[in-house]
Amino acid sequence: MAVILKTPEEIEKMRTAGRLASEVLDFIAPHVKAGVTTGRMNDLCHEYMVEVQKTIPAPLNYAPPGYKPFPKSICTSVNHQVCHGIPGDRVLKNADILNIDITVIKDGFHGDSSRMFFIGEPSIQARRLVDVTYECMWLGIAQVRPGARLGDIGAAIQGHAERNGFSVVREFCGHGIGRSFHEEPQVLHYGKAGTGLVLEPGMTFTVEPMINAGRPGIRELADGWTIVTKDHSLSAQWEHTVLVTPRGYEVLTRSAGSLAPPAVVPLAAA
């Protein structure tokens, strides 16, 4: 399937959807604390999306081939959970780390973003993993410009993760996004610079590295969705939706509560 280049009108709708996804993360941030269940966070986000934003929670009942429908409106992945954690009765406790992954649909277009949260005071290793993963995402994004290749993104992410003693999950990747939740291209978070698809203005895709403190191996839990590290080591993920512009990139999933890019990333032309 070919990569879908977005028109200016479609890009404007992608900007709106992306900002709204990020604003859900802004909204839920004060509620992320010890003693709260992941199910409660799901319920709060669902109500905010549906009642306040008038958006559709894309994960709810999402069922790609081979999967049963996802039963909740957000993904909550705690500690050694890599991705696709199903919200439920789990109570957050001090020193946990948590990824919340939000995808909304507004006017037919998807906005997709995730952030890491600390519950109380994290361990030194946990804080370092989360910080390095954030740097990995932004170093990947910084490669985006017309004429660059997808392999440039993966190589930047893999290099930074491994230099810091961490590993990159191979089985899951970023993806094109627009009218569909998942479009072409697949955006690997490892690889060789100078290889892969050539980037063009109008492409929209996610950059969402999953970085493990231990080995890269993963396994799927019996619920059919939740992915965890095989060695039970901590895992972290950050995600933005990105547009390839005529001069560089634009991050579509930023809002008032978004963190600034890390110091390791230079400012890019929009």
Which tens digits make up the pLDDT trace of 157-203?
A: 999 999 999 999 999 999 999 999 999 999 999 999 999 999 999 99
Give just the sign of the alpha carbon dihedral 265, 79, 104, 188.
positive
Over 80: is that where the pLDDT of 1 sits?
A: no
Looking at residues 201-211, what average pLDDT do you find?
A: 98
Q: Is there a contact between 57 and 49 (Cβ–Cβ < 8 Å)?
A: yes
Q: Which of 48-52, 122-126, 264-268 has the lowest mean pLDDT?
A: 264-268
pTM assigned to the model: 0.96
213-226, pLDDT tens digit by residue? 999 999 999 999 99
Is residue 220 within a helix (H) or strand (E), and if so which, with residue range? strand 218-220
Superfamily of domain 8-251: Creatinase/methionine aminopeptidase superfamily (3.90.230.10)
H helices of the chain, where?
8-28, 38-47, 124-141, 150-163
**Domain boundaries defined on the chain:** 8-251
Over 90: is that where the pLDDT of 234 sits?
A: yes
Query: Please, how many CA atoms are within 13 Å of residue 43, restricted to the half-sphere of its CB?
Result: 7
What per-residue confidence (pLDDT) applies to 270?
A: 45
Looking at residues 65-93, what average pLDDT do you find?
A: 97
What per-residue confidence (pLDDT) applies to 239?
A: 98
Looking at residues 75-91, what average pLDDT do you find?
A: 98
Smallest CA-to-CA distance from 168 within 124, 225, 211, 205 is with: 211
What per-residue confidence (pLDDT) applies to 264?
A: 86
For residue 110, CA distances in Å to 75, 123, 182 come to 16, 35, 9
91-121, pLDDT tens digit by residue? 999 999 999 999 999 999 999 999 999 999 9
**Residue 24 token pair:** 């859900």
Provide the residue count of the chain: 270
What per-residue confidence (pLDDT) applies to 269?
A: 46
**Residue 95 token pair:** 């020193």
Looking at residues 72-94, what average pLDDT do you find?
A: 98
Q: Is there a contact between 87 and 72 (Cβ–Cβ < 8 Å)?
A: yes
With both helix axes pointing from N to C terminus, report the angle between 124-141 and 150-163 in degrees, rounded to the nearest 10: 160
**Residue 98 token pair:** 């948590």
Average per-residue pLDDT for the chain: 97
Torsion of CA 145, 146, 150, 153, to 10 degrees: -10
What per-residue confidence (pLDDT) applies to 128?
A: 98
Smallest CA-to-CA distance from 18 within 204, 269, 262, 208 is with: 204
Over 50: is that where the pLDDT of 212 sits?
A: yes
What per-residue confidence (pLDDT) applies to 241?
A: 98
What per-residue confidence (pLDDT) applies to 267?
A: 60
